[in-house]
Amino acid sequence: MSQLQMKKALLEGLRQICPCLDGTDELQVHETDWRGRHFANALGVTLPTTVEEVSQIVKFCRLRNIAIVAQGGNTGLCAGAVPVSGQSRWQLILSMRRMNHIRQVDPLTDSLTVEAGALLQDVQAAAQQVGRLFPLSLGAEGSCTIGGNISTNAGGNAVLRYGNTRDLVLGLEVVLASGEIWHGLRALRKDNAGYDLKHLFIGSEGTLGIVTAATLKLFPPLRQVDTALLALPSYTAALSLLKALQTQESLPLTAFELMSAESISLVREQFPQRLFPLDDKLKTYVLVEAGWSSRPQGDVFEQALERIWEVCDVQDGVVAKSEAHAASLWEWRELITEAQLRAGPHLKHDISLPAFCIPEFIEQTDAGLYSRFPGLRVINFGHLGDGNLHYNISVESVISEMDLQAMQAEIENFIYGQVCAMNGSFSAEHGIGQTKTQHLRHYRSATELSLMALLKRSLDPEALFNPGKVIIEHVESVGLI
**Partner that binds at residue 392, options ligand FAD, ligand MLT, none, CB closer than 5 to 8 Å by kind:** ligand MLT
* Minimum separation from the CB atom of position 392 to ligand FAD (A): 12
263 forms part of the interface with ligand MLT (CB under 6 A): no
3-state secondary structure of 430: coil
53 forms part of the interface with ligand FAD (CB under 6 A): no
For the purposes of burial, counting CB atoms within 10 Å of the CB of 86, is it exposed (0-12), middle (13-18) or buried (19 or more)? Answer: exposed
Residues contacting 6, CB < 8 A, separation 6+: none
* Minimum separation from the CB atom of position 198 to ligand MLT (A): 24
Q: Binding residue for ligand MLT (CB under 6 A) from 56, 71, 260, 392?
A: 392
CB–CB of 301/227 below 8 Å? no
Question: What CA–CA distance (Å, rounded) separates 54 from 65?
Answer: 16
**Partner that binds at residue 418, options ligand FAD, ligand MLT, none, CB closer than 5 to 8 Å by kind:** none
* Minimum separation from the CB atom of position 409 to ligand FAD (A): 23
* Minimum separation from the CB atom of position 219 to ligand FAD (A): 19
The window from 74-82, 226-234, 267-275, 283-291 that contacts ligand FAD (CB under 6 A) reads 74-82
348 forms part of the interface with ligand MLT (CB under 6 A): yes
Question: What CA–CA distance (Å, rounded) separates 479 from 97?
Answer: 32
Question: What CA–CA distance (Å, rounded) separates 71 from 210?
Answer: 10
Give the residue among 40, 42, 45, 55 at the shortest CA–CA distance from 19. 45
3-state secondary structure of 90: coil
Question: What CA–CA distance (Å, rounded) separates 397 from 426?
Answer: 27
Closer Cβ to ligand MLT, 260 or 392, answer by number: 392
Q: Binding marks (x or -) toward ligand MLT, 138..157, rule CB under 6 A?
A: -x------------------
Per CB under 6 A, contacts with ligand FAD among 349-378 are none
| Minimal CB distance residue for ligand MLT | 337
* Minimum separation from the CB atom of position 342 to ligand MLT (A): 13
* Minimum separation from the CB atom of position 222 to ligand MLT (A): 20
CB–CB of 377/342 below 8 Å? no
Q: Binding residue for ligand FAD (CB under 6 A) from 139, 203, 424, 467?
A: 139
Closer Cβ to ligand MLT, 77 or 238, answer by number: 77
| Minimal CB distance residue for ligand FAD | 148
DSSP result, 221-283: PPSEEEEEEEEES-HHHHHHHHHHHHTSTT--EEEEEEEEHHHHHHHHHHSTT---SS-TTSS
Question: What CA–CA distance (Å, rounded) separates 311 from 313?
Answer: 6
Closer Cβ to ligand FAD, 385 or 407, answer by number: 385
* Minimum separation from the CB atom of position 99 to ligand FAD (A): 8
Q: Binding residue for ligand MLT (CB under 6 A) from 337, 352, 365, 466?
A: 337
418 forms part of the interface with ligand MLT (CB under 6 A): no
Q: Angle 24-28-32 (CA atoms, 0-180°, nearest 5)?
A: 155
100 forms part of the interface with ligand FAD (CB under 6 A): no
CB–CB of 147/72 below 8 Å? yes
Alpha helical stretches, state H, 137-234? 146-152, 159-162, 198-201
**Partner that binds at residue 185, options ligand FAD, ligand MLT, none, CB closer than 5 to 8 Å by kind:** none
Per CB under 6 A, contacts with ligand MLT among 65-84 are 77
Q: Is the dihedral of CA 400, 403, 405, 407 positive or negative?
A: negative
Q: Which residues bind ligand FAD (CB under 6 A)?
A: 34, 69-77, 80-81, 96, 116, 138-140, 144-145, 147-149, 151-152, 154-156, 205-206, 210-211, 337, 429-430, 433, 466, 469
Q: Which residues bind ligand MLT (CB under 6 A)?
A: 77, 139, 337, 348, 350, 382, 390, 392
